[in-house]
Each structure stands twice: as structure tokens, then as C-alpha cells.
Amino acid sequence: MTKDSCFYVGRIVKTHGIKGEVTLRIDNDDFDDIEELNYFLLDINDNLIPFFVENIGFHSNKAFVLFQDVKTLEAASQLVGIAAYLPLDLLPETGGNDFYSHEVVDFIVVDDERGELGKVHEIIEYPTQSLIQIIRDDKEILIPIHDDIIKEVDRAGKKIYVKTPEGLIDMYLGN
């Protein structure tokens, strides 16, 4: 399995307790949609290695995980700093104008007034607002992800149709 067929969940930030449990800081909002969780793919030396979950508990943006074959504090400490991934097929399908961040990268954003703005470079997640980032002519354009702005997500055509607030695009492009 490669990272291209997975999504980033978060990183193991420390050990938890003395019986081999670790604290996984969850950095991905998409993770909340997962129903059943039996394993994580840990990025060890650029290889995704499955680690099966024996027990897991959640609090805020953290998961406290006990892996099946990690039973000591020493073994758990070897995992600190390692990134965790899950396969994309574990995410439930979205529809309509809802989408996962990884799903729309490279979609073309089309504004109802200005036409094609460029390709989605990245979805930037802030605590209060998510933004579509477009790089056009070496300039960054940020468009809020909001029901009043996103008019249609055309998955087949790989396009996102938007109606941006007046002056927003001009602010970035200086037109």
C-alpha cells in the first residue's frame, strides 16, 4: 500500500501509561467519519506497516491506542514521532457538494463571474474555516468552503463551481 492510496490521520506524539499504549494526535477531520477501526498504517522508513489495534480510546483530537504487538513502554517509545495513515477506502463516500480534502486536489475551480480560476492546490484546514487554495500566476487565492460559495462539485468533470463574494478574487489578483 502506498501513501497515494491512503490519507494522513496524525502522528504518535508520546507514550501513554506503562503498558505500551501511545497517544496519537489526530490532525485530520476526515478521520471522524470512520466507523470501524482495526489497524493503522505506520510510516516506518517510508514504508507503510500495518499495526493492529487491540484497544483504542478517544478524547478531543487524541486517540490512545494499544497495538497488539506493542506491550512495553520501551516498544511504544520506538513509535513516538511516527505518522499514521489509513486507506482511502475506509472513508464513507461523499455526495453532493460535500467532499474530503484529498478528493478535490487538482479539481479546476470555476467562478460564476471570472470563469476558471485554476486548480485546487490544497485544502487548508483552520479551526473555524476551511479554505480552497489555488496558485495562479504565482499568486495564492483562498476561497472559503461554505454552502453559500460552493455551488456544485462535479466529480466526473473534476470541477468545483463557486460564487465568490464580490471583490474577493480581485483582492488576490490585484485586478
CA 44 to CA 79: how far, in whole Å? 9
pLDDT at residue 61, rounded to an integer: 85
pLDDT number for residue 33: 63
Write phi, then psi, for 168 (nearest 5 degrees): -65, -50
Question: What does the pLDDT read at residue 60?
Answer: 84
- Can you spell out the DSSP letters for 38-81? -EEEEEETTEEEEEEEEEEEEETTEEEEEETT--SHHHHHTTTT
Specify the pLDDT at position 174: 80
Q: What is the dihedral of CA 37, 43, 49, 54, to 10 degrees?
A: -40
Entry field: residues in the chain: 175
pLDDT tens string for the chain (175 positions)? 888 888 888 899 999 999 999 999 988 766 766 767 899 999 999 999 999 999 998 888 899 999 999 999 999 999 999 999 999 888 877 878 888 888 899 999 999 999 999 999 998 887 788 899 999 989 999 999 999 999 999 999 999 999 999 999 999 988 6
